Structure 1
């Protein structure tokens, strides 16, 4: 059994895709072990994406990810990382 993280980004949340994403995971036999809606601060987004700090898109990425609510999920299943 593997675990991985999945994030529905601010645009997916604002466009109402949460239910569709959950249905896809469940339809594929992937278990949602935990799920929470959160708001990342700019500082939290910068920390999460620190590996990209020197990349040209870092500023726009962290601005975007802190622009609205996101859904974070812990997914469980056989080969869930590869899927």
Structure 2
């Protein structure tokens, strides 16, 4: 029986830059390149906030998208 893992809810203060997301996920089992991250943001319609010259996203939204992307990649192979 598979365990149910609830999706994380975005917190107010988990906004991070796209560059920070790629750095944080670099050591994960399924790291994302900057271009892959941009594709996931577009594909899953993750909202972006533009502050100054940088785009920010909720890290929890990216984690959900990464989990779905990794599951799809595992099914391919």
TM-score range, shorter chain: 0.3 to 0.5
TM-score by length of 1: 0.30
Q: Which has the higher strand share?
A: 1
Kindly indicate whether structure 1 or structure 2 has the higher relative contact order, using CA contacts under 8 Å at least 6 residues apart: 1
Q: Which has the higher helix share?
A: 2
TM-score by length of 2: 0.32
